[in-house]
Amino acid sequence: MGNSFKFRWLLLLVPVIALAPMLTAGDERGQTVPVQVPEKRPVKVAAKSGAAAKEVPPSEFSSGSPTAGQIEGFTEPYADIRVAAAEMGTLAHVAVQEGDHVRSGDLLANLDEGVLQASLEVARAGMSAEGELKSAQTQLDLRNTELRKLKELFDRNHASQQELDRVTGEVRLAEARLQSVREDLEVRRLEFARIQAQLNQRRIVSPIDGVVTDLLKDSGEFVSPSDPVVARVVQLDPLLVVFSVPAARRSEIVRGQAVAMKIGEADGAGLVEFVSPTVDPSSGTFRVKIRLPNPDRRWHGGEKSLLLLNQVPPALAAGKDSSDALK
């Protein structure tokens, strides 16, 4: 019984003996070695020649951060429209080429108009037919004359009441027929206008001043309701510049404000058209859209731009208002 008790104690002591070196690990003299944490040191930023280097605290240093007050963005067409046909049909003619400058209302292409043109001529002829109208008017005039004479005879007791009632009824019938002819002519005029409207819808015109960048259909192709787009037109004057501005700078930008920008290597000025009321939680920024006048088309869509929040547009600095600055 005593030997068994001693054996169990030995089994309990073996793990303790094995863990003892690990619990007392240190240097060669048995002393514990503390872990060294690197000290944060200020970063020296090189300055221009002749000036002392400036030390930037670690909390303010961030590699790749943009220059203060400068926010990157890109130019976009102010309008980018995929022009579609209002009706289906075969494309008879394409009037422009890619790269052409167009004005609002200029013809881009037109669908086949043969059947509608024939219908228009028929409607024009029906609308111009005055024969029925003149005939109905003449009949009414005759009946009115007859009624007037009959009333004179009736007053002298030379005509009966029955004859007077008969002619009075004929006058009313003539009036109704004249009204019917007039209404029929009005319907013909409306039909003529309807066909004209259909013909106008078969003309595909540019809705804006801009440049044709894509032609998606050729002459002879069928334009269907499921694929009605014929051309793409973009507006490059003005341009739209979109920026993602840090939420902390919201107070510096308001709608209608003139701002300084740099587009490529050139200076420019724009007018704030839209300030998003919401902040993107993933980036901590809000969208700003700026209208950039581009009358000589010196800039194009997709160019890198900088929003210079700390600068005043030159024209504003000279004392002009926002509208003058952006002419």
pLDDT of 319 over the 80 cut: no
Q: Which of 119, 304, 93 is nearest to 199 (CA)?
A: 119
Nearest to 268 by CA among 235, 250, 234, 291: 291
Collect all residues with Cβ–Cβ distance below 8 Å to 234 and sequence separation of at least 6: 77, 79, 80, 81, 210, 211, 213, 301
**Range in 113-122, 239-248, 314-323 the model is least confident about:** 314-323
For residue 325, what pLDDT is reported? 47
pTM, full prediction: 0.61
CA 292 to chain centre: 16
Residue ranges of the domains in the chain? 70-80+236-325, 113-201
**pLDDT tens-place string over residues 12-68:** 555 555 555 554 444 444 444 444 444 544 444 444 433 343 443 433 333 334 455
| CATH class belonging to 70-80+236-325 | mainly beta
130 vs 246, higher pLDDT: 246
d(CA 80, CA 207): 11
